[in-house]
Structure 1
Amino acid sequence: MLLRLPESVSEAQECIAEGAVPVGGATLVWAGWQRDGFPAQAMSLRNVPEANVIGRGTLGGAVVLNRIDDRVPEVLRQAAANVGTGAVRRTATVGGNIVGSTLRCLLPAALVLGARATVLERDSVFETDLAELLAKQHLLLSLHWRDPVVSSYRKLAADAGGPPPLVVAAALHSDTDGADRLHVAVRDGYDVLSDSVPCAAGTDETIDRLGDTTVGTLHATAWAIVRQHIGELLARPRGR
């Protein structure tokens, strides 16, 4: 197998046009390739600058998870820090986790940030939402978002080899009119539910509003965890 390492978007598009298979950190595809056979060509975006950016409101798809630091909001930073083992985080990439993984550990965090995706195709680069990114399995070049007022993340403990643990991500955003809006995403098993509500005068009323959304359809145990998490978030000092 020839691994190609383009150094620009145009070079990456040439690789795609010539049949190279995009690969992130190869943590998810390697076993399958060993079983089913390796492609003739693979391509990594690790040398493409646009895919390696880490900054205020942006994160490249080729960034490995252990590089994600306090330049991004807490919810995304904690999501990355809780993926697998240290060895996995040193090789797994943002794009591989969100697009290539069935667990998609970073997806709830990206959803509550209202992130949009810049994607790469053989003849174009364009922006789309996360729903289209996942549905069409686009090659992720980078994520972009508007920083929240405050955010938080929780991943429950789970037994190795068991079902995926419950994940709760939340972020408080200030709308253009100055009103606050709460965004919540929950991974329950392999399903991810997300919604948002305007913040009420009191925490209980805000949580009650959330209960009327799709997030409120969670089973009782998960909903109790979400309620606690949101209560703690709304009581925190404002920051990222």
Structure 2
Amino acid sequence: MLLRLPTSLPEARACLTEGAIPVGGATLVWATWQRDGFPEQAMSLREVPEANVLGAEELGAAVLLHRVDDRVPEVLRAAAAGIGTGAVRRTATVGGNLVGSTLRCLLPAATVLGARALVLGVDGPYETELPELLAKQPLLIGLRWRIPVASGYRKLAEVPGGPPPFVIATAVYDTLAAGPELRLAVRDGYEFLSERVPCEGLGATDVMSALADTAIGALSDELREAVREQIATVLERATGSR
């Protein structure tokens, strides 16, 4: 297998045109390749500057998970820190987790940040929404978002042999029209749920009442209580940061 390492987006586009298979850290596809055979050529974005950005409002797809630090919002940093083992995080990439993994541990965090995906198409780079990224799976270059007032993340304990652990991502944003808004996303098994609730003057119990008729409100008592606790934490952080 030939591994191609383009150093610019035009070079990366040329690699795609010539049939190179995009890979991140290859942590998810290596076993499949060993079983089914390796592609003739693969491509990594690790030398492309746009895919390696790491800042308060952007994160490149080629960034290794262990490098995601407090330059990004808390919800995204904590989500990255909770993925796999230290060895996995030193190899796996942001793009590989979002696009190549069925668990998509970073997706709830990216959702509450309202992140947009910078992707590479046949005519060059463009921005798109997360649902289109997941549906069409173009080559992800990176994520961009606005800085929230506050954010938080919680992953419940994993049951050995059970489904993926339940995760909760939260963020509070100030909207010009309607005041502060709480954004909530959870992963329940392999299902992802998200909601937005205006939260001016509301506490966690009030927000949960507003969610009563949603899919999140239909979760079990135990999971709803975990969501309520996480909402209380992020609302407290938001109040303290104003």
TM-score bracket, normalised by the shorter chain, equals over 0.9
| Unaligned stretches of 5+ residues in structure 2 | none
Tell me which stretches of 4 or more aligned residues in structure 1 moved more than 6 Å: none
Contact 1:58 1:144 (C-alpha < 8 Å) held by counterparts: yes
Q: Residue 145 of structure 1 aligns with which residue?
A: 145
| 2:74–2:152 contact (8 Å) kept in structure 1 | yes
The corresponding residue for 2:26 is 26
* Pairing of 1:128-167 with structure 2 (within 5 A): 128-167=128-167
Match of 2:189 in 1: 189
TM-score normalised according to structure 1 size: 0.96
Shift of 1:239: 4.6
> Does the 8 Å CA contact 1:20/1:42 hold for their aligned counterparts?
yes
Distance 1:178 1:67 in 2: 36
1:52 corresponds in structure 2 to: 52
SS of the equivalent of 1:217 reads coil
8 A Cα contact 2:208 2:217, kept in partner: no
CA distance in 1, matches of 2:125, 2:64: 22
Matched residues in 2 for 1:160 and 1:64: separation? 27
1:77 aligns with 2:77: yes
What percentage of aligned pairs have identical amino acids? Answer: 62
SS at match of 2:201: coil
Q: Answer with 1-10 or 153-162: which moved more.
A: 153-162
Return 172-181 or 212-221, whichever deviates more.
212-221
Contact 1:51 1:141 in 2 (8 A): yes
Deviations along 1:49-98, whole A, 9 cap, x unmatched? 00000012100011010000111000000000000000000011011001
Which moved further from structure 2: 51-60 or 209-218? Answer: 209-218
Partner of 2:210: 209
Q: Deviations over 1:17-61 (max 9, x none)?
A: 000000000000000000000000000000000000001210001
Instruction: Report what 1:235 is aligned to.
Output: 236
Measured after TM superposition, the shift of residue 110 of structure 1 is 0.3
> What is the alpha-carbon distance in structure 1 between the residues aligned to residue 217 and residue 147 of structure 2?
25
Q: Give TM-score, length-normalised by structure 2.
A: 0.95
For 1:94, the equivalent position in structure 2 comes to 94
Q: Distance in 2 between matches of 1:195 and 1:78?
A: 20
For residue 217 of structure 2, give the secondary structure of its aligned residue in structure 1. Answer: helix
d(CA) in 2 for partners of 1:177, 1:44:
42
Structure 1 residue 218: Cα displacement: 2.0
> Which runs of no fewer than 5 residues in structure 1 stay unpaired?
none
